[in-house]
Amino acid sequence: MNSQEYSDEQYKRDWLYRCRFIIPLIILVAGIVLTIFAMMTSNATHRNITELKAKLNATTYANQMADELKRAAVMTKSLERVVQYDEGKIKHF
């Protein structure tokens, strides 16, 4: 019976010794996995924000170009009228 108790105690010691290294290892792996997940989520969010800014900049630039083209068209019409009236003589400016 002594040898049986000794083996049970030895088994418990071995199991506790293994758990002493396994639990921190599990926590380390879980920490690494959570860090990678957080980095991937942050990267995806940053990418979405960058895409939205790019679309907004493109829309704003397109609107500015359209406004400049409209102003240029108005100026062209005005110059055509000056040339048409009085054979291009500018009197009213």
pLDDT tens, position by position, 16-62: 787 788 888 999 999 999 999 999 999 999 999 999 999 999 999 99
Tell whether 35 is covered by a domain: yes
Tell whether 93 is covered by a domain: no
The domain tally of the chain equals: 1
The predicted-structure confidence for 60-83, as pLDDT tens digits, reads as follows 999 999 999 999 888 888 777 776
Tell whether 73 is covered by a domain: yes
Tell whether 46 is covered by a domain: yes
- CA dist 39 and 58 (Å) reads 28
Report the C-alpha dihedral over residues 30, 33, 38, 41, rounded to 10 degrees: -140
User: For the CA atoms of the chain, what is the radius of gyration?
Assistant: 39
Range of the domain at 51: 2-86
Tell whether 54 is covered by a domain: yes
pLDDT for res 3: 52
Tell whether 92 is covered by a domain: no
